[in-house]
Amino acid sequence: MITLKNISFKVGKSNILAGIHMELKKGKVYGLLGPNGAGKTTLFKVLLNTIEYKGEVSKEDNHVPIGKLIEYPASYPNLTCAENLKLHASYADIAYSDSIVNHLLSVVGLPDAKHKKFRALSMGMKQRLGVAKALMGNPKLLLLDEPTNGLDPMGIKDMRNLIDQNLKSKQRTIVISSHNLNEVSLVTDTFLFMRDGKKILEMDNSEDIYLFGNVQQMPDNLNVKKDITLLKDNKKETYFILSESHFNKLKAMNDFVYRDVEKLTLENLYIKLMSSDLMEMKSYV
């Protein structure tokens, strides 16, 4: 597990990250969602320890190997796939051999491209080679920043299958930052929504449709409250997000009073969160 406590980062007087609290569990795939400027790439830089931030990052193992695919997967255009992987390993001081390189190229679906030069690869193949570089050293934390960026529909599908079938592991944590909500929802266990440098909502990916509404009165039952995702806005209004089945159970309780209920897709929920000041409540007091 990796725990982030009160992570903040400023550039001048601008808060790029502000008070981030987060737990990243082993074996989970997290979808990091938010608009440009929300702080997603900066959060990756915190995890990579490449910027001077305030707060605390603690890990079960202080030497957790981290793999990354951030922004465009740059490689040397006149070198082959194998040569690029070997050069990357030597720069990063990672052990490698021909058998390791062959295995990684097979994992990412490039076994026949070993001797192809980088410049001759399609965009999808370049992205997959970038993933192969990120996998060198068998990382326990894998950070993928817009892994489907610039890919056509077939390339996007290939990347999704690669993540789902080859990258997921009980011993590995994966964090995917993407604007492609539908694709992320197909491989993600948990959504992490960010806005203006803050984590505004953490939610399990278990539904296709979410019920969102205004809370007028909550049931006086702590166990019930724990199962409801609550948010507040700056006017101190309280809102809920629930699955349809859970909402139907709560409707039967006389002390659960609500109004203005909407059925939202993930896309519509994202738009509502990013166009408002809603933030998840961490206390029911």
pLDDT per position as a tens digit, 117-128? 999 998 889 988
Beta partners for residue 68, in sequence order:
143
Ranges in the chain annotated CATH 3.40.50.300: 2-194
Q: Is the pLDDT of residue 65 over 90?
A: no
Residue 34 pLDDT: 92
pTM value is: 0.90
Arithmetic mean of pLDDT, 137-163: 88
CA atoms within 13 A on the CB side of 138: 7
Ranges in the chain annotated CATH 3.30.70: 207-280
For the chain, percent of residues with pLDDT exceeding 90:
54
The residue type found at 2 is I
Burial class (CB in 10 A: 0-12, 13-18, 19+), 255: exposed
Arithmetic mean of pLDDT, 266-283: 90
Beta partners for residue 209, in sequence order:
265
Distance CA 173, CA 24 (A): 7
Average pLDDT, the chain: 88
Residue 93 pLDDT: 85
Residue 285 pLDDT: 36
Cα dihedral sign, 47-6-199-12: negative
pLDDT band (50, 70, 90) for residue 231: very high
| Helix/strand/coil for 107 | helix
Q: Is the pLDDT of residue 73 over 70?
A: no
pLDDT band (50, 70, 90) for residue 183: confident
Distance CA 206, CA 163 (A): 18
Residue 72 pLDDT: 67
Q: Which fold has domain 207-280?
A: Alpha-Beta Plaits (3.30.70)
Arithmetic mean of pLDDT, 180-194: 91
Q: Is the distance from CB of 22 to CB of 192 less than 8 angstroms? A: yes
Q: Spelled out in words, what is the top-level CATH class assigned to the domain 2-194?
A: alpha beta
Residue 178 pLDDT: 85
Helix or strand run (H / E) with residue 57: strand 54-59
For the chain, percent of residues with pLDDT exceeding 70:
95
pLDDT band (50, 70, 90) for residue 46: very high
